[in-house]
């Protein structure tokens, strides 16, 4: 979606400059020539710029500093988020950032354990990914035998049952659904206990300053910090907070309006 962001900024600046130039210079020239060699009509570029600039400016401000829509492209956050979910992301929870370069201009807050965040991964800076924050700066995070630990404390798990997938998520049918207690923040995760052992990214990590350790809720089907490392703070885009539509071969109205925990 970065191309859309760039196009939106360019169009907003262009139409705004045309509108300003017309207001300060061109309109006065047309008025002076009216009745001589000019009929006084606005050029089509000016006409369209004046019509579209307010709309583009409002959309740019809302997307950059208030809330931005994203579509979930994969199953890595199942069962919390499904492929086809359209979510809203709060853009000011972690500070106001400029569009395109994502530079923070005003600091407001920092991610907490359990937050579901949208970010640009270091190895794919042109893409937007979504994961859950598991480790904060300075935390010791471990992952062994499907068990997460933070600062030496193993997280508690409560069984929910066998997961029944829908749509593109049917591949996870038969996985075990669990409630994970991330030091006071509870959410559901999936584990595949019915398959032979595969590399699950086991290890121990110490989160450096200015970075976060993120994981997908679909633990056996998520490319996350276990494989590519820590998430830099400057790559954060915002905090996911609401599912506003689901479309996975058909609209699933049961998920609309769900808060993201």
**Listed residue (217, 236, 228) closest to 95, CA to CA:** 236
Nearest to 205 by CA among 124, 123, 138: 138
- How many Cα atoms sit within 13 Å of 15 on the Cβ side? 20
Contacts with 165 (C-beta within 8 Å, 6 or more apart), sequence order: 78, 171, 172, 173
Structure tokens at 50: 């004046």
CB atoms within 10 A of CB 11: 16
CB-CB neighbours of 127 under 10 Å: 12
Positions marked catalytic: 76, 131
Instruction: Give me 48's structure tokens.
Output: 């369209």
- For 47-83, the DSSP string reads HHHHHHHHHHHHHHHHHHHTEEEEE--SSTTTTTS-T
Q: At what angle do helices 44-65 and 2-21 cross, to 10 degrees?
A: 130
Strands of the 140-144 sheet, one edge to the other: 153-154, 147-150, 140-144, 203-206
Token pair 């395109």 in the structure block, residue: 100
Q: Which residues contact 240 (CB under 8 A, 6 or more apart)?
A: 70, 81, 87, 88, 89, 90, 116, 117, 118, 130, 260
């Amino acid at each position: 979606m970065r191309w859309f962001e760039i196009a939106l900024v360019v169009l907003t600046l262009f139409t705004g400059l045309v509108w300003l130039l017309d207001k300060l210079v061109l309109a006065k020239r047309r008025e002076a020539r009216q009745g001589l060699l000019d009929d006084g009509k606005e050029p089509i570029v000016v006409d369209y710029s004046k019509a579209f600039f307010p709309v583009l400016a409002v959309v740019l401000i809302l997307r950059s500093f208030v809330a931005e829509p994203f579509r979930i492209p994969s199953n890595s956050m199942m069962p919390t988020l499904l492929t086809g979910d359209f979510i809203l992301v709060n853009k000011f929870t972690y500070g106001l950032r400029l569009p395109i370069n994502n530079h923070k201009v005003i600091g407001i807050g920092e991610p907490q354990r359990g937050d579901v965040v949208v970010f640009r991964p270091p190895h794919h800076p042109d893409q937007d990914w979504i994961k859950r924050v598991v480790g904060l700066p300075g935390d010791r995070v471990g992952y062994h035998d499907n068990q997460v630990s933070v600062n030496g404390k193993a997280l508690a798990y409560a069984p929910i049952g066998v997961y029944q997938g829908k749509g593109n998520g049917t591949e996870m049918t038969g996985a075990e659904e669990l409630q994970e207690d991330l030091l006071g923040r509870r959410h559901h995760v999936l584990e595949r206990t019915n398959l032979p052992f595969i590399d699950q990214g086991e290890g121990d990590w110490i989160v450096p300053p200015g970075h976060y350790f993120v994981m997908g809720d679909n633990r056996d089907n998520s490319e996350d910090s276990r494989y590519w490392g820590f998430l830099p703070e400057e790559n954060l885009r915002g905090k996911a907070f609401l599912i506003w539509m689901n479309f996975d071969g058909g609209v699933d109205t049961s998920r609309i309006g769900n808060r993201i925990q």
